Amino acid sequence: MNSLPLNHKRIAIAGGKCFVELENIINNLGGEALFRPVMSSSTNDCKDTDDAVKHPAKQGASGSEIPFDFYDLPGHKNVRTLLYETLSAEIDVIAFTSNTQVKVFFQGTEALGATSYLQNALQEKVIAFSVDSMTTKVLKEHGVTRIVAPPYERMEAMVMELANYCQQVRLKTSFPVMLTNLQRVVVIGGGKVAERKVRALLEANVKPVIISPDIGRGLETLVQEAELEYQAKPYEAVDLMDADLIIAATSDADINAQIAANAKIKHILCNVADAPELGNITTLGTIRRGDLTIALSTNGLSPSLNSFLAEKFEQQFPDAYAVLLAALGEHRGALAKLEIVETQGVLTQLTKQETLEQLSQFPDTASKLCRDLIYLTSTFG
């Protein structure tokens, strides 16, 4: 066996309940269990929660709404730690062993003003692992759709199901391509995730059709500004007709899964925002400088590295590259006649920092600069 089922996955457990049992199983399967009790420093977080609910007057809140301030400093710290690890994808999975953990984590996140960021991270980067139906229900109520919730009673069987899920995602083949000549692209969904997908499509000069019973304010603005087609209705299988690409970005995991299944039957490219393994394409992080496109992917192994490299490339490739590439396109034939070493010399000179700064200030000089440098190189070497 080349690797254990969990293959170094980092799993944060949001409470003391079942931690020891989960830790042993996770470690035996090759993963790493992290203790992140969001409710207190005690491993018996259920008792703390029960006390808060039974004595609301003492804690200063109704029994159905436990105040974030009730939880002690270690709890505060772990909410922040777990939130940071989730947003930066330093963990692969959050394991919730009670519905109260979900409520407290989201309540603390809301107090920090980061709810939408957390929801996006749990839809695209980090898996939510639930061990019972009530916890799953509360996760869905908080807008989380990428949930592994096995219908088992034994903890070991549950974790194995999680391992199988991770293994399927990891082993899925991937071949990077660039889609061109897209005629009909359909985005199904109206929330923040759908909005991000639409923005990315517009940057690629693709004007999608949007289908959703209602849409958020940001997406509504895009529809108006870009004059996009918006159909205010629920998804139907007929919406896939004549589509080149489908993006499932609703807040309902079942609907997204149905969209993916329908697209597969019709052999249509489909991206599922909250569960990319259900579709047959994933969208890559991209950096655009005119006709220059740099796409990044770590195949889901390290979103943190992906984000780090994206920021690094953003700095390494200034907007002047758009001007430079356009100029090189004009003189493509002349550049192709040079020897490989000569071509490398020309490109090295053109991509020096001082040259890029000059092109940034005086973009009209780019074509002449390329022409003269190619001529001098071809004539004098």
pLDDT above 90 (res 215):
yes
Q: What is the three-class DSSP state of 254?
A: helix
- Run of H or E residues at 298: none
30-44, 92-106, 146-160: least confident range: 30-44
Q: What is the three-class DSSP state of 227?
A: coil
pLDDT above 60 (res 74):
no
Q: Give 3-35 as a 3 state SS string.
A: CCCCCCCEEEECCCCCHHHHHHHHHHCCCEEEE
Q: Decide: 210 and 248 in contact? Cβ < 8 Å.
A: no
The CATH number that domain 185-283 falls under is 3.40.50.720
Tokens of 315: 């700095």
pLDDT computed for residue 143 by the predictor: 84
* pLDDT band per the 50, 70, 90 thresholds, residue 63: very low
Angle between helices 133-141 and 99-111 (to 10 degrees): 20
pLDDT in tens, 227-277: 999 999 999 999 999 999 999 999 888 899 899 999 999 999 999 987 777
Distances (CA, A) of 172 to 120, 192, 249, 335: 22, 27, 21, 40
Domain 10-171 has CATH 3.40.50.10090: yes
pLDDT in tens, 219-241: 999 999 999 999 999 999 999 99
Give Cβ neighbours of residue 1 (< 8 Å, ≥ 6 apart): none
pLDDT computed for residue 213 by the predictor: 96
Percent of the chain with pLDDT strictly greater than 90: 44
Q: What is the three-class DSSP state of 187?
A: strand
Q: Which of 246, 273, 16, 234 is closest to 144 using CA atoms?
A: 273
162-176, 179-193, 285-299: least confident range: 162-176
